[in-house]
Chain A
Amino acid sequence: MRDDERMSTEELHDSTITDLLRHLQQLRRAVPVNYQLKAELREKLLERMREMELQHSPQPPDRDVGRRWSVWGIYGGAVVLILAAVLLLVTRDAIVVREEELAGLRMAQSAEQVALAPDGEHIAYVANGDRLYTRPLSEDQQESRFILPATTGRYRAVAWSHSGRQLAVVEENQQVNRIWLVETDPDGAVRASSRLLKEEKGAVYHTPSWSPDNLSIAYTRMTGGKEEIWVSSTLSLQEKRVTEGSQPDWSPDGGSIAFVKGGTVSVLNLRTGEVRTIGPGTWPAWIAPDQIAYTTPQGNLVVARLEEKSVESDMLPVPAAMKDRIVRADWSRDRKEILISYQAGQSLAFGFAVRR
């Protein structure tokens, strides 16, 4: 190629490059629009891909939703806690019924025919005047029947020892009245044995009550219409009269006996002989070293706190179904479970409750 031709070629190339560059500049000015479009297209494509993913797999939790739930959860928990605290405060010292009426006890004619075990998990009752049963309060266990000594009379009262190993059972007979001690044999009721604690002609016994150490039994002895409380040793058979009255119950330390005389609950200090009046009522039961629960004449429960020089009494909130109808409250050893006997029409019903 010649120089002048080369030169024009070069000049031609320069113009072409210039034109190309100019065209590129023009294109570049148009590029932002294209990039933007590209970005939009890309975003749309990603979104579409996500939608397709969600359709084929579970959706990942939304962080915002999770956070919302956390907040609600905390808030709800706080509300529940507050409500629980309110309920606890409001229902403090309340008796809550677990079972309004225990089945099969309607035949009982008196409150002392059924007794709550110290562990609060069993009851013992005499049925038909000649049979003794123990029954667990949980439904998955069966009741046990004990063979009592044959009698022409009837068995009328039962009381658990504090160890739960023995039952005091009162036999009422025209000729002679007896108190038997029956072992609650761990090997089965069939092998349980009885021993005669007391036997007397012309006297009627009822409402036996074991001392906390199980070495003595207090009971009501009635002769000639007069009721007295006697205490018999279960080891030496020594016995003594302690006071006039009925329905004895030993204090947790064994130093006092609560009893009823003339429709009034009183407390006898066994060491000093001092008698202290508590209030009108029946069926006293020690629920603390310085507290006695008893049934008012109106059929409700009262807790009397024995201060040094006075007695402070408070009504115990009772279930509505039993209000104004309570005959007796029999307490477990830890004073949390209660067997309540109450009037249900013409007969007695027995309910099981717990105390908060």
Chain B
Amino acid sequence: MWKWLLALVLIVQCLIAIPAAADEPFDLSIHLPLGGVIKNNQWTRVEVSITNNGGERFSGEMEFGDEPHSGLNRAIYRQAITLDAGETKNVPIDLPAEMLMQGPTEVRLIKGEQVMATEEFPPITPKGERVVGVIADEPSAFHFLAIGSDQRLDNWIPFTVQHFEPDALPDQSWILKNLDMIAIGPLTSGKLKENQLAALKEYVRRGGVLILSARPGDDELVQQFRDLLPVAGGQGGMLTNLGELERWTGSTPLPLSSIPVYNRQFLLITAKQIDGGVYLFANYDVTAEPMASWQYNRQLWKKVLTQSKAVERMAEKDERSPLDVSLVSLSKLIPGVQVPSVGWIILIWLVYLLVLAPGLYLALKRWERREWAWGIIPVTAILLSVTVYLFGRTTVAEEDASYRVSMLRILDKDLTEVQTAASFLTVSGGSYSVRAENGFLAVPLAYNQVNMADDDTMMGTDGQGSKTIQFRNVPYLSIKQAVASGILRDIGSFDAVLQTNGDRLQGVIVNRTRLPMEEVYLNLGLQRIALGSLQPGEKKQVDAKIEEYVFPQQSDQDSPYERALNREQQIARQKEWLMNGESNQLRLIGVSSQPLHTLELLQQGQKHDWNVVVQNISLMPDASGHIVYPYGTLPVQKIDEKGIVDYRHPNIWNLGRGEVTFALSVDQSGLDVTKVEIPLDQSPYRPFRKEIYHAKTGKWKQLGREERVILGKELGEYLNREGQILVRFTNPTDQRFSLPQPYLRLEGVEKSK
């Protein structure tokens, strides 16, 4: 019997059509923008050029997936394509960069079951360094921005500089986001097109850092960016006040006594926060000697990038992956849908196999009807399957359902970045389509992230240019997932006027978004202040005590992926994790269930939405220009560690015999700092030996066990060139101690403009 079965299997294998690779009729080539520079947490574009050299019209599919010998078998992206004879088409594939890094991939042209042409995708590695894209006439322009590439002493992520021709600059801001910084100029006028300029400006608003260097007379170039920073032309000349540079040289004379600048009324370098990003205007030609080769040039720019918060913005821009695990996991937990446990299904079948089927057989044997078993047992198996399906279907879900979970980052009243993960469940399965919001990027996801090759999923574009995803031949009660990212311009923003008054945070918040918020919180560093619900247009007074939070709330909470948690607990924990953002900021966080239609299931069914809305808030000075930054709202960086150091929670380090050094940013542009407090007298810091760096003498000073650092007039003595205070913690014992990140409170007065 088994020989017959084996023979049957072999025959079937032989009958499976082996795709034959055909060559010549088609030419495939792949191009990556930005010279292949990609960031792990960004979207990117793969441009595929296809030429039909054959004499016939081609109608088939273009597929982007794993190479056959890679061991995986996934089609990451698939779309229909038609080519007339002799036609060349450029087909863009937009997808998260992370998907390109999961193994060797190729692009395939398929007709039916036959692969007509393939082209291997070039291996790419995301840059570990920060990448500065330079567009300038001079090829070596901005070379000094390769900061820290030859040294990693202070935990500064090094920059690498890459030169681009103006033509090569993409005109989509989301592609530009694969660059950490863009530096322009000096540049011959007319080289940047309107769409490229628009993309550059949107790139800055979306968290990018843009440097523009201008020579005297570069009016056309500078005026193209006047809506970012208006700098009047025709006021060029020589800048003789070089105090900005002198603090770097100390007693060493500067290489020049004056610098030709574009506008004499402006500083050498001006920084401006533009929504989520930073615009840095260099009022001089950075490529001109001797400044271009000046030995302190790197330190100068390092300070500028730190002080202007450009470094922070770069980190924020890459904060969340398009395939954010938290969003994707939460979206699987569709409200009202209870996917049956596999254990129950196995149990039912075990009961049938071990109890019902033998029982039937014995009964038939007793009644001397054994030969009926050949029919009765298979029929009962079918009946059981049908019964389980009919009964189970209604317990899982009564109708089709979808669940969209979105993270919204409000950058301005007309600019909100949205990232959505969505799950779709159809009771009867079959085929259905999902449409992304116009202008949004979208890709389907494998539900279990394992094998997509059997998924019959097709990308497409509808008549309005919106991306569509067609899921075909979906088994009944199967969940399909997709992610999407893009910009919405009609969300609005919160208006927040908040000030610190002693140990209280006071002010008013107005919801000027179109979203009703079920819950609103103020995250003041690690402290969360609940404000309740806030409807559109509603105003809420804030008057809360500012606490010195030292530890993040998650430090003793279960991970949302703990198996011991039931479904409701998992949902609650995952939502909690999504709402907990980075510390060292003041943020408004709102929760809303308003539908956003970023990914729309194109058929009837239950549709659920859950949105987290985040907006960074700035504290306002009081009437006298006095401003206080409470604990946890200013950046702190770990810059060095030695010995036994590890950490399992954000902002908490476990220190055995070793030391950790932190840099607390104090120097704020536009602010005269009058007082800094670092509460190192708090009990978590007491087991450590503490030292503070006295920059003036270049020595480390030991602090007392219960000493709180308060710096006023002597603050300048402790600030390093980057405008930071350095604090070092040492544990000389083998006992491991938990060390929370130190925080500071800063008081200052706005600089008069």
Chain A residues in contact with chain B, CB under 8 A?
A: 147-150, 161, 163, 165-166, 181, 183, 191-199, 214-215, 233-238
B264 interface residue (CB < 8 Å to A):
no
Q: Given A183-B738, A214-B556: A235 and B683 within 8 A (CB)?
A: no
Determine if B127 is an interface residue (Cβ-Cβ < 8 Å). no
- Contact between chains at A165 and B687 (CB < 8 Å): no
CA distance A150 to B549 in the complex (A): 27
What are 5 A-B pairs at a CB distance below 8 A? Answer: A147-B736, A192-B736, A196-B683, A214-B557, A235-B549
User: Known interface pairs A237-B548, A237-B682. Does A165 touch B736 (Cβ–Cβ under 8 Å)?
Assistant: no
Q: How far is the CA of A234 from the CA of B547 in the complex (A)?
A: 12
Q: How far apart are B579's CB and chain A's nearest CB, in angstroms? A: 16
A193 touches B550 (CB 8 A): no
Contact of A236 (CB < 8 Å), options: B549, B687, B734: B549
Residue contact B551 to A234, C-beta cutoff 8 Å: yes
Known: A147-B734, A183-B738, A236-B548. A195 touches B684 (CB 8 A): yes
Q: When the two chains form the complex, which single residue of A191, A192, A196 contacts B687, counting CB atoms closer than 8 Å?
A: A196
Check B558–A163 contact: CB distance below 8 A: yes
Total A-B contacts with CB atoms under 8 angstroms apart: 75
B687 touches A198 (CB 8 A): no
Closest to B653 in A: A193
Instruction: Using A192-B736, A194-B738, A238-B547 as known contacts, say yes or no to A163 and B683 having CB atoms under 8 A apart.
Output: no
Instruction: Determine how close the nearest CB of chain A comes to the CB of B651; give it in whole angstroms.
Output: 11
Q: B549's closest neighbor in chain A, by CB?
A: A236
Q: Say yes or no for B737: interface residue by CB 8 A criterion.
A: yes
User: For the complex, is B661 an interface residue (Cβ under 8 Å from A)?
Assistant: no
Cross-chain contact A235 with B684 (CB below 8 angstroms): no
Minimal Cβ-Cβ distance residue in B for A238: B547
A147 to B735, CA, bound (A): 7
The chain B residue sitting closest to A163, CB to CB, is B556
B737-A215 in contact (CB<8A) = no
Q: Which 5 A-B pairs have the closest CB atoms?
A: A195-B738, A193-B736, A236-B547, A193-B654, A236-B549
The minimal Cβ–Cβ distance linking A185 to chain B, given in whole angstroms, is 9
Chain A residues with Cβ below 8 Å from B553 are 215, 235
Interface residues of chain B, those whose CB is within 8 Å of chain A, are 526-527, 547-553, 555-558, 654-655, 682-684, 686-687, 733-740
Nearest neighbor of B736 in chain A, beta-carbon distance: A193
Distance to closest chain B CB from A144 (angstroms)? 14
Determine the residue in chain B with the shortest Cβ distance to A147: B735
Residue in A150, A191, A238 whose beta carbon sits within 8 Å of that of B736 in the complex: A191
Taking CB atoms, residues of chain B closer than 8 Å to A199 are 683, 686
Q: Closest CB-CB distance, B500 to chain A, in whole Å?
A: 16
Closest Cβ–Cβ distance, residue B69 to chain A (whole Å): 38
Given contacts A235-B553, A236-B547, contact A196 B684 (CB under 8 A): yes
State in angstroms the CA–CA spacing of A138 and B654 once bound together: 31
Greatest chain B CB density within 10 A among A183, A195, A196 is at: A195
Q: How far is the CB of A34 from chain B (nearest CB, A)?
A: 40
- With A165-B556, A195-B684, A199-B683 as known contacts, state yes or no: A235 contacts B526, CB within 8 Å: yes
Q: Is the CB of B735 within 8 A of A149?
A: yes
Nearest CB to that of B734 among chain A residues?
A147
Residues of B within 8 A of A147 (CB): 734-736
Query: CA A214 – CA B558 in complex, angstroms?
Result: 11
Q: Which residues of B contact A163 (CB under 8 A)?
A: 556-558
Query: Once the chains are docked, how many angstroms separate the CA of A197 from the CA of B684?
Result: 6
A193 to chain B: which residues have CB within 8 Å?
654-655, 736-738
Distance, CA A174 to CA B654, complexed state (A): 28
Known interface pairs A196-B684, A196-B686; A237-B550 also in contact (CB < 8 Å):
yes
If A147-B735, A196-B686, A236-B548 are given as contacts, then 9 extra A-B residue pairs at C-beta distance below 8 Å, sorted by A number, are A192-B736, A193-B737, A194-B687, A195-B687, A199-B686, A235-B553, A235-B555, A236-B547, A236-B550
Q: For residue A194, which residues in chain B have a CB less than 8 angstroms away from its CB?
A: 687, 735-738
Which residues of chain B are within 8 angstroms of A191 by Cβ–Cβ distance?
A: 654, 736
Cα(A199)–Cα(B551), bound, Å: 17
Of the candidates B551, B655, B684, B686, the one having the most CB atoms from chain A within 10 angstroms of its own CB is B551
* CB neighbours of B738 from chain A (8 A): 181, 183, 193-195
| Chain A, interface SS category | loop
Give Cα distance in the complex from A195 to B735, angstroms: 11
Nearest-CB distance from A216 to chain B (Å)?
Answer: 11
B162 to chain A, nearest CB (A): 42
State in angstroms the CA–CA spacing of A191 and B733 once bound together: 14
Residues of A contacting B555 with CB < 8 Å? Answer: 235
Task: Tell me the complex Cα distance, A148–B556, Å.
Answer: 20
Q: Which residues of A contact B735 (CB under 8 A)?
A: 147-150, 194
Residues from chain A with Cβ under 8 Å of B740 in the complex: 195
Q: Which residues of A contact B734 (CB under 8 A)?
A: 147
Min CB gap A325→B, angstroms = 36
Known: A147-B735, A149-B687, A193-B654. A166 touches B682 (CB 8 A): no
User: How far is A307 from B558 in the complex, measured between Cα atoms in Å?
Assistant: 34
When A196-B684, A196-B686 are in contact, do A161 and B547 touch as well, CB less than 8 Å?
Answer: no
A147 vs B734: C-alpha distance when bound (angstroms): 9
Contact check, B737 vs A195: say whether CB atoms are below 8 A apart. Answer: yes
Residues from chain A with a CB closer than 8 A to the CB of B556 are 161, 163, 165-166, 214-215, 234
Q: Which residue of B lies closest to A178 (CB)?
A: B683
CB A123 to nearest CB in B, in angstroms, measures 20
Closest to A187 in B: B648
CB <8 Å contact, A237 and B736: no
Query: Of all chain A residues, which has the CB nearest B552?
Result: A235
Set of chain A residues within 8 Å of B737, measured between Cβ atoms: 149, 193-196
Let me know if B551 and A235 touch, CB within 8 A: yes
In the bound assembly, the distance between CA atoms of A183 and B738 in angstroms comes to 9
Residues of A within 8 A of B687 (CB): 149, 194-196
Q: Contact: A150 with B733, CB < 8 Å?
A: yes
- A161, B683: Cα distance in complex, Å: 19
Closest to B558 in A: A163
Chain A residues, Cβ within 8 Å of B654:
191, 193
In the assembled complex, the CB of A166 is this many whole angstroms from the nearest CB of chain B, namely: 6
Whose C-beta in chain A lies nearest to the C-beta of B550?
A237
Across the interface, do B683 and A197 meet the contact criterion of CB distance under 8 Å? yes
A236-B527 contact given A147-B735, A215-B553, CB 8 Å threshold: yes
CB distance from B681 to the nearest CB of A (A): 10
Most A Cβ at <10 Å: residue of B550, B557, B683:
B683
- Rounded to whole angstroms, the CA-CA distance of A199 and B706 in the bound complex is 10
Assembly CA distance A238 to B687 (angstroms) = 19
Which partner residue on chain A sits nearest B547 by CB separation? A236
Chain A residues lying within 8 Å of B558, measured Cβ to Cβ, are 163
Q: How far is the CA of A215 from the CA of B733 in the complex (A)?
A: 28
Residues of A within 8 A of B733 (CB): 149-150
> Which residues of chain B are near A181, meaning CB under 8 Å?
738
| Nearest CB on A from B749, distance (A) | 28
A237 CA to B547 CA, complexed, in Å: 9
Closest Cβ–Cβ distance, residue B366 to chain A (whole Å):
16
Partner among B527, B548, B557, B683 whose Cβ is within 8 Å of the Cβ of A198: B683
B-chain residues with CB within 8 Å of residue A198 when the two chains form the complex: 683
Tell me, in angstroms, the Cα distance from A176 to B580 when the chains sit together: 36
Residues of A within 8 A of B550 (CB): 235-237
User: In the assembled complex, how far is the CB of residue B504 from the closest CB belonging to chain A, in whole angstroms?
Assistant: 14
Give B262 Cβ to nearest chain A Cβ, in Å. 49
Interface centre among A165, A198, A233, A236 (most CB of B within 10 A): A236
Chain B's closest residue to A166 (CB) is B556
Provide the residues of chain A in CB contact with B736, threshold 8 Å: 147, 191-194
Q: Which of B556, B684, B740 has the most CB of A within 10 A?
A: B556
CB proximity of B708 to chain A, nearest CB, Å = 13
What residue in chain A is nearest B684 (Cβ atoms)?
A195
What's the minimum C-beta distance from A146 to chain B, rounded to whole angstroms? 10
Interfacial chain B residues near A148, Cβ < 8 Å: 735
Question: In the complex, which residues of chain B have a beta carbon less than 8 angstroms from the beta carbon of A197?
Answer: 683-684
Q: Which residues of B contact A237 (CB under 8 A)?
A: 548, 550, 682-684
Chain A nearest CB from B745 CB (Å) reads 14
Q: How far is the CA of A150 from the CA of B556 in the complex (A)?
A: 25
> In the assembly, what is the distance between CA of A352 and CA of B733, in Å?
37
Q: How far is the CB of B249 from chain A (nearest CB, A)?
A: 44
